[in-house]
A and B are shown apart, each in its own frame.
Chain A
Amino acid sequence: MIWEIIISVLLVTGGFFGLVGSYGLVKLPDPMTRLHAPTKAATLGVGATLTASLIWFPTQGGQSTWHELLILLFLFMTAPITGAFIAKAHLHLGWDADELPRPEPDLHWATFAGPENESVLDRKTPDE
């Protein structure tokens, strides 16, 4: 019974946060803020759901599984990377380097750095 309650709570929590995460995706005003909603809300959403499953199988389902843990690990490991990459993509597409604080006066953020970061027009084309 107690497990049932815990499981139920976890499921409801998971569902709730999953929904909120995606709702945030719709509701929040600009891309950078929208990035926050799913990277976190969804982690807990799916995290709670997986935890519910982790508990459900040994207690209610009569078999033990640990895969949920692995999935969770994987998700938590990768979520920051996807977050950072989407942010970088967004910075690249929608932001100017000057709109951001600089890391140091003469340095750029990695997205804005690099010798290749030139306009197509500037590029020398030797043969044409």
Chain B
Amino acid sequence: MSPALIALLPFIGALLPGLLIRSGRDVAAISCGTATFIALLGLCLHIPAIMAGEVITARFEWLPSLGMNANFRIDGLGLLFGILILGIGLLIITYARYYLSRNDPVGLFYTYLMLFQGAMIGIVLSDNILLLLVFWELTSLSSFLLIGYWRHLPEGRQGARIALTVTALGGLAMIAGMLILGNIAGSYDISDILQAREAIQASPLYVPALVLILLGAFTKSAQFPFHFWLPHAMAAPTPVSAYLHSATMVKAGLFLLARLWPVLSGTPEWFYLVATTGLLTMVSAAWIAIFRDDLKSLLAFSTVSHLGLITMLLGFGTQGAAVAAMFHIVNHATFKAALFMTAGIIDHEAGTRSISRLGGLRRLMPITFTIGTLAALSMAGVPPLNGFLTKEMMLQETTEAVWFGNGTVLYVFGTLGALFSVCYSLRFVTQVFLGPERDDYPAHPHDPGFGLLVGPALLVVLVVLIGMFPNTSAAWLVAASSSAVTGVAQDPHFALWHGVNLALKLSLTAILGGLLLLALNPGMLAMRDAVWRPDGKRAFDAITRGATGVARGFTERFTNGSMSRALGALSMTIVATGLWAFSTGRYQGASRPMLEVGVVPLTGWILLMVATACMVAFHRLRILALVLVSIIGLIVSGTFIYLSAPDLALTQISVEVVTVVLLLLALNFLPKYTILDSADRKRGLDAFVATVTGLGFGALSYCIMRSDFAFPPISGYMLENSYKLGGGSNVVNVILVDFRGYDTFGEITVLGIAALTIFALTETLLAGASGRRLRNWVHDSLRAGDRHPMLLVVVTRLILPISLVVGLFIFLRGHNSPGGGFVAGLVVSIALVSQYMASGFSWAQERQSINYHAFIGAGVIAAGITGIGAWFAGLPFLTSTYGYVKLPGIEEFELASAMGFDLGVFLCVVGAVMLGLNSLTRIARQTGATVNLEPMDVDPSKEAEHR
């Protein structure tokens, strides 16, 4: 079976329980078990080939340019881990079927479990380190889900987050490490990397890569000081603990060390980092395990300790140590999984995992007792069980290794670790099973059914078998895997008895010392409790709480909703970067002569300066500010006229009046005065920012006006061809409707959308809380009488048709003289608005059967159709044509098709302005203004008629 398929099968298995989510535990377990079994079978079919030294590969291109490909390989190492993962997985699936309650979402559990299994298999079968990374992180994610599976348990959630965070930390470091490694090796394929030992170890980036990768491996394998996540992961259901946190996931780190052993090991950096970490972990975790009250917690720390042991062995970098490491992986998996399942059974049956509440279960649960004891003894390293074999090998290796010139420190500590291990293993046996039977178990303990027992029983059988007959039962697997690790064919021989050597003495010391320690345990417990000790979880909590606090403070500080700060930052950024960019370039200096200043421009300048200054000074008096805005607008328009831009002046002045009307309409409901609520200091700072920005902009514009174009501007062409090709002599208008008609198309759309937005917003406001508030509105000022003054009505009535004529005129001549659709639209709008102001909204509205929505739509469409029309001539959008239309005897017009476009502009402007004002007026009417049926409040002539 292809390695890829083997890796894929668990994922397929993961889908099944998801799909069959309602069909219960059996279906889920069977489907997952089947997938696992097929995968295991597929893997085992490769055993002969692998034993023969072959490496089975499957390669799929995924992301070749990055070097990330779906390449898989099975060699001895992969085989060892694959069998562990799938084999124990099969047992766990069975076990979980009976362990989980009917009320648990079992489908979900199996999905997560299979996801995890797939990820693990992926790790061990990857032949590409980037692919390996993918699976690596997937194990973190799926373990997060599994630990947090019982979502109502706070420990589960916290444990899940701690595990995720710590392993993700390592994972991220590993991403960097792997990328560096791949860059050095020139490939991300493991096959290639394994060939690049010299290049890698010679690279200056070797140490960073090593440290980063080790960070990944150590976090995953819960090595000191990252070990603290593992006990908290014990909040997971026991099958998860047994599977992830003893047999497989935590070994992923070891796998990685083994996988990269040929290229990374053998250097002092490797030795001191890996072996020391391993040693420290082994001893410290074992020490902690002695005192744990929670069975699973005890087992968890023992796991950490054993992982440390294996890490240390790999760190030694010798072939013998590597063989021992591989063998211990096998042994540890068997006895530790069995122990976890035993703990789960006890928890399940006795209702507690607390050692202090247990004891005397020997008679109540004889089978469980047997299984648990055998496994625990193996863990303690008692012959003839398999744990003994590797403990001896470990001690042997420590006696041979030298640590900073010291030949004893390693084996002293190694023995100490073994001693602790004996202590906690026996504690497990004595304090759970032995002793007097109690009468206060939370439940009625008895041996469980076959389903829960089969897994641990099988494992314990292995424990014994491997212990007794290591060379026939396990040597082949250790040989295959250690050959793969070391790159040299290994043919190890294991024996229970090596004669009386140092290792044996140390082993004996450990066992005896362990017994002694167990006897002293209660006293030591009290002593230990009295002394302060570092608590990983508390540190983690402190760090994350601190980080969260800092993040909150930081976030609150940098995005605190202050507009002023945001805009101030923007201004200063603009000025600073602009100034920097300008000053690092070269400016030629003023080359254009200045224009003379006459009396009128000077007056205008004074007016503008004073008006602007007043505007700032008096801006809190809002109506005065509006008057000043009008004045500034007037002067700006005058400036445009003076500087040869009549079109601009027309537009500016007419836009401005509409704006003022709009602002007045809004101001009716807003406070009339701005409250002074910024402190003097802030105002000073703002003034500084404003001044600097103003200076910057003024200077920039001065530089521009005094310098020449570096290249002839494209507008020269426009001046030349505006009449010839565009058919209009007002070049600005031809640019607007022809050269750059597309801009104008966008522009009128903007206007239309603005009106639609205003309309939509108004409707929403009126329907909501604002509507209610408006209905109870109290005007904040005394109101005069005379809503629709007669004089105004009469005059605007006359102005309306005249304005329409003026609008038409401005529209028609726009192509050749200042004017055009936009200004015309505004003129007409202003005339209509004057009707509204004079005769009241309802009366005037009644007289226009115009839907402004339709106006806007029609405007955009008209402009669009004029543009699309060109398609039918095979020309691009907005291509215009023109001609002079001479209706006999009537005014001669130049009719450019662009005029259709201008008509669209006109319609859109009228529609948008009127719809916007309408909406604002609707808000006003909500306050309960009465509706007038007559255009003026009093009409003396009508009154006369009545008489």
What residues of chain A have their CB less than 8 Å away from a CB belonging to chain B? 74, 77-78, 80-81, 84-85, 88, 91-92, 108, 110-114, 116-117, 119-120, 123, 125-128
Nearest neighbor of B794 in chain A, beta-carbon distance: A81
Q: A85 — which chain B residues lie within 8 A by C-beta?
A: 789, 792
**A81 x B792 contact (CB < 8 A):** yes
Nearest neighbor of B798 in chain A, beta-carbon distance: A77
Q: B791 — which chain A residues lie within 8 A by C-beta?
A: 80-81, 84
Q: A126 — which chain B residues lie within 8 A by C-beta?
A: 776
Interface bin, chain B: 20 to 34
B935 CB, nearest partner CB in chain A, Å: 15
Partner of A77 from the list B778, B785, B795 (CB cut-off 8 Å) is: B795
Q: A111 — which chain B residues lie within 8 A by C-beta?
A: 784-786
C-alpha spacing A110/B882, complex, angstroms: 55
Q: What are 6 A-B contacts with C-beta separation under 8 Å?
A: A108-B785, A110-B785, A114-B783, A114-B785, A114-B786, A117-B782
Q: B778 — which chain A residues lie within 8 A by C-beta?
A: 120, 123, 125
| Secondary structure dominating the interface of B | loop
Q: A88 — which chain B residues lie within 8 A by C-beta?
A: 784, 786, 789
CB contact under 8 A between A113 and B783, given known A77-B799, A81-B795, A85-B792: no
Q: B798 — which chain A residues lie within 8 A by C-beta?
A: 77
What residues of chain B have their CB less than 8 Å away from a CB belonging to chain A? 776, 778-787, 789, 791-792, 795, 798-799, 802, 937-938
B776 CB, nearest partner CB in chain A, Å: 5
**B776 x A128 contact (CB < 8 A):** yes
C-alpha spacing A20/B787, complex, angstroms: 34
**B782 x A110 contact (CB < 8 A):** no
B789 CB, nearest partner CB in chain A, Å: 7
Nearest neighbor of A119 in chain B, beta-carbon distance: B782
Q: B786 — which chain A residues lie within 8 A by C-beta?
A: 88, 110-111, 113-114
C-alpha spacing A91/B784, complex, angstroms: 9
Q: Which 9 residue pairs are nearest across A and B when measured between Cβ atoms?
A: A114-B785, A110-B786, A113-B785, A92-B784, A111-B784, A127-B776, A81-B795, A117-B785, A116-B783
C-alpha spacing A78/B797, complex, angstroms: 12
Q: A113 — which chain B residues lie within 8 A by C-beta?
A: 785-786
Nearest neighbor of A92 in chain B, beta-carbon distance: B784
**B779 x A120 contact (CB < 8 A):** yes
Nearest neighbor of B776 in chain A, beta-carbon distance: A127
Nearest neighbor of B789 in chain A, beta-carbon distance: A110
A80 CB, nearest partner CB in chain B, Å: 7
- Most B C-beta atoms less than 10 A away, residue of A81, A108, A127, A128: A81
Q: B779 — which chain A residues lie within 8 A by C-beta?
A: 120
CB contact under 8 A between A120 and B785, given known A77-B795, A81-B791: no
Q: A117 — which chain B residues lie within 8 A by C-beta?
A: 782-785
C-alpha spacing A114/B929, complex, angstroms: 13
**A120 x B780 contact (CB < 8 A):** yes
Q: A123 — which chain B residues lie within 8 A by C-beta?
A: 778
Q: 13 other contacts beyond A88-B786, A117-B785, with CB at 8 A cut-off?
A: A80-B791, A81-B791, A85-B792, A92-B784, A108-B785, A113-B785, A113-B786, A114-B784, A114-B785, A114-B787, A117-B784, A120-B779, A120-B782
**B795 x A78 contact (CB < 8 A):** yes
Nearest neighbor of B937 in chain A, beta-carbon distance: A110
Q: B792 — which chain A residues lie within 8 A by C-beta?
A: 81, 85
Q: B802 — which chain A residues lie within 8 A by C-beta?
A: 74
Nearest neighbor of A83 in chain B, beta-carbon distance: B791
C-alpha spacing A74/B831, complex, angstroms: 13
B89 CB, nearest partner CB in chain A, Å: 70
B554 CB, nearest partner CB in chain A, Å: 44
B650 CB, nearest partner CB in chain A, Å: 14
Q: A78 — which chain B residues lie within 8 A by C-beta?
A: 795, 799
Q: A81 — which chain B residues lie within 8 A by C-beta?
A: 791-792, 795
A105 CB, nearest partner CB in chain B, Å: 18
A66 CB, nearest partner CB in chain B, Å: 12
B936 CB, nearest partner CB in chain A, Å: 10
Nearest neighbor of A120 in chain B, beta-carbon distance: B778
C-alpha spacing A81/B795, complex, angstroms: 8
C-alpha spacing A2/B779, complex, angstroms: 61
C-alpha spacing A34/B371, complex, angstroms: 111
B240 CB, nearest partner CB in chain A, Å: 61
A1 CB, nearest partner CB in chain B, Å: 27
